[in-house]
Structure formats: structure tokens, C-alpha cells
């Protein structure tokens, strides 16, 4: 894996292109991974540099598995674009806008959560209803492997869950509509909408693989130069490592990188 700070000259070439965009995941990227989603906080330094970058880049966006309004309330930076539910939802004009392909799945998610309610009897498991998706968390379970097996068995027994896309992430299992909309399609939409010529994407988990592949597709198919940067952790998925162009070692390194990026975009050309 290639370390970002050994390749700043190459990254600087992309940053010099205009319009340029920065797209970042939230949990595990600009926020330390917390025992529960409610306990997670944005790094103050990441917040400072992202706020600064909003004044100098064509696009600064956060893309997360959380609901879009929750992402907005968590980051609280005017001028940022907020995309939630793994690309299925965007905060715009003071409200959430959902992909037209997912409208039929709100009821399915509600029914699946009801079917999976017995899982809540296992200490440490929680089920997060995010409207059009759901996430089963088990980070605070005593035995992670046993919890994961029980969750997957319960999903297998659920009649409605069979209609959904199941993704095993870091100490969590996501249940998503089986549609061709994800972080990657959302990023390609942003690249086209803002006519980006360059960009960087930061991410740390399995659904960020789609985001990284989108960056590479844009480099191949469009007039675009960009890089996918993986944020390392002990739980970093192998697939993400394979798709990343470069790596940063945790949220503290992301802070350093955003500082460098802020300084770079302010340099006279």
C-alpha cells in the first residue's frame, strides 16, 4: 500500500485541476470509530479544514451510510453537500431527496426490522432504522463472531430480508434496497453535476469500494484525474485495500492530509 505523504507531488497535479472536488466518508474517516453511532463525533481539526476547503473548492461533500439529515447535523458546515444512506439520499433545499428507485422499500425495511426484533434480546445488538435502509450493529457485543453468525442466520430466516442487498461491514450488517444506486453512482453524479476535472475520495469501509471504483471509472471515461484514499484500521476490508490508490493511517492522518490540502489550494499558481 502506498502512503499518501510519499506521493504528494502526484496528488498535487490533480489538485491543480479546476474544478476540483473532495468527497469524504464520515465514520472511521473524519470521525473516530465509536462504540455506537450516537457516540461518534467529527474530529475538530477535520471540521476546521473541511470548512476552510468549502471556500476554495468547487465541491466538498460527505457521503455516508447514515441518513443525510443526520450527516448534516453531525458535520454542520454550510456549503457542504450531504449524501446519506450509501448514496440513496441527498440533503437538498432543506429536505431529503431519495432516489426514485427506492420508494417501494420503506415498507420492506420496516417489516424486516420487525422480523429481526428477536435479535435485540442478544446483549449489545442494536438495529438502526434509517428509513430506506437498516443497519444491525454488534460492535459492543462480547463475542463478535457469534453475534455476526446469529445476525446472518436471522436474516436468512426473514422472508422480507431476502428482497434486500446484504453487506457485512465493520461490526455491522447493512440491509439495502437491491438497486443500482450506491456511493459510486452518487459520486459519478457529483462529478458530472459539478463538471469536476479532479477529485479525491476518502473512505474506510466496504461500501466505499463502490466510491473508489467510481473515481477510477471517471479517470478512465471522463476528463478527470483523481485518487481514492483508504483510511487504515485493524478492521480495514481487504477489498478496500485493493481498490485504494493510497492510504492514510487513521483519522489523525486524515487531519494532517486535510491541513496539507488546505495549504495547497491556497498556494499561488
From first to last of the 269 residues of the chain, give the pLDDT tens digit: 799 999 999 999 999 999 999 999 999 999 999 999 999 999 999 999 999 999 999 999 999 999 999 999 999 999 999 999 999 999 988 889 998 889 899 999 999 999 999 999 999 999 999 999 999 999 999 999 999 999 999 999 999 998 899 999 999 999 999 999 999 999 999 999 999 999 999 999 999 999 999 999 999 999 999 999 999 998 888 899 999 999 999 999 999 999 999 999 988 75
- Could you tell me the CA-to-CA distances from 124 to 8, 74, 156, 262 in Å, in that order? 42, 24, 20, 40
Tell me, what DSSP letter sits at residue 119?
G
pLDDT on residue 231? 97
- Distance between CA atoms of 14 and 8, rounded to whole angstroms? 10
Per 3-state DSSP, the chain is made up of helix, strand and coil in percentages (nearest 5) of 45, 20, 35
Matching CATH number, 4-99+181-266, of 3.40.640.10, 3.40.50.1000, 3.30.360.10, 3.30.70.20: 3.40.50.1000
Size (the chain), residues: 269
Distance between CA 23 and CA 250 in Å, rounded?
Answer: 17
Q: Does domain 101-176 have CATH number 3.90.1570?
A: no
Q: What is the grid cell recorded at 140?
A: 459492543
Which are the contacts of 245, defined by CB distance < 8 A and separation ≥ 6? 2, 212, 227, 228, 229
Structure confidence at residue 32 (pLDDT): 95
| Measured CA angle at 78 (ends 75, 80), to 5 deg | 70
**Of the candidates 218, 185, 182, 180, which has an alpha carbon nearest to the alpha carbon of residue 200?**
218
CATH 3.30.70 domain span(s) along the chain: 101-176
| Beta pairing class for 165-169 and 59-63 | unpaired
The x, y and z cell numbers of residue 224, run together, are 478527470
pLDDT of residue 92: 86
The per-residue pLDDT for 269 is 59
**CATH 3.40.50.1000 domain extents, the chain:** 4-99+181-266
Cβ contact 174:206 at 8 Å = no
* CA pair distance 12, 30, nearest whole angstrom: 21
**CA dihedral sign of residues 194, 197, 201, 207:** positive
Q: How far is CA 22 from the centre of its chain?
A: 13
pLDDT tens per residue, range 170-206: 999 999 999 999 999 999 999 999 999 999 999 999 9
Amino acid at each position: 500500500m502506498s502512503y499518501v505523504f510519499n506521493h504528494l507531488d502526484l496528488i498535487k497535479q490533480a489538485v491543480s485541476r479546476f474544478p476540483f472536488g473532495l468527497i469524504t466518508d464520515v465514520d472511521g474517516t473524519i470521525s473516530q470509530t465509536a462504540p455506537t453511532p450516537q457516540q461518534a463525533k467529527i474530529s475538530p481539526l477535520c471540521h476546521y479544514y473541511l470548512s476552510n476547503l468549502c471556500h476554495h473548492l468547487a465541491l466538498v461533500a460527505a457521503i455516508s451510510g447514515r441518513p443525510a439529515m443526520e450527516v448534516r447535523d453531525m458535520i454542520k458546515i454550510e456549503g457542504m453537500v450531504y449524501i446519506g444512506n450509501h448514496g440513496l439520499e441527498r440533503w437538498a433545499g432543506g429536505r431529503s431527496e431519495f432516489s426514485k428507485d427506492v420508494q417501494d422499500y420503506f415498507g420492506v425495511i420496516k417489516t424486516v426490522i420487525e422480523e429481526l426484533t428477536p435479535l435485540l434480546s442478544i446483549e449489545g445488538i442494536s438495529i438502526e432504522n434509517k428509513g430506506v435502509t437498516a443497519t444491525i450493529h454488534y460492535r459492543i457485543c462480547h463475542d463478535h463472531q457469534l453475534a455476526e453468525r446469529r445476525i446472518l442466520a436471522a436474516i436468512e430466516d426473514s422472508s422480507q430480508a431476502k428482497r434486500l442487498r446484504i453487506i457485512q461491514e465493520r461490526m455491522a450488517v447493512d440491509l439495502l434496497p437491491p438497486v443500482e444506486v450506491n456511493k459510486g453512482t452518487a459520486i459519478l453524479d457529483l462529478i458530472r453535476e459539478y463538471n469536476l476535472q479532479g477529485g479525491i475520495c476518502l473512505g474506510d469501509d466496504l461500501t466505499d469500494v463502490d466510491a473508489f471504483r467510481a473515481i477510477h471509472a471517471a479517470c478512465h471515461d471522463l476528463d478527470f484525474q483523481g485518487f481514492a484514499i483508504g483510511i487504515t484500521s485493524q478492521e480495514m476490508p481487504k477489498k478496500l485495500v485493493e481498490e485504494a490508490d493510497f492510504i492514510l493511517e487513521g483519522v489523525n492522518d486524515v487531519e494532517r492530509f486535510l491541513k496539507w490540502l488546505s495549504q495547497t489550494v491556497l498556494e499561488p499558481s
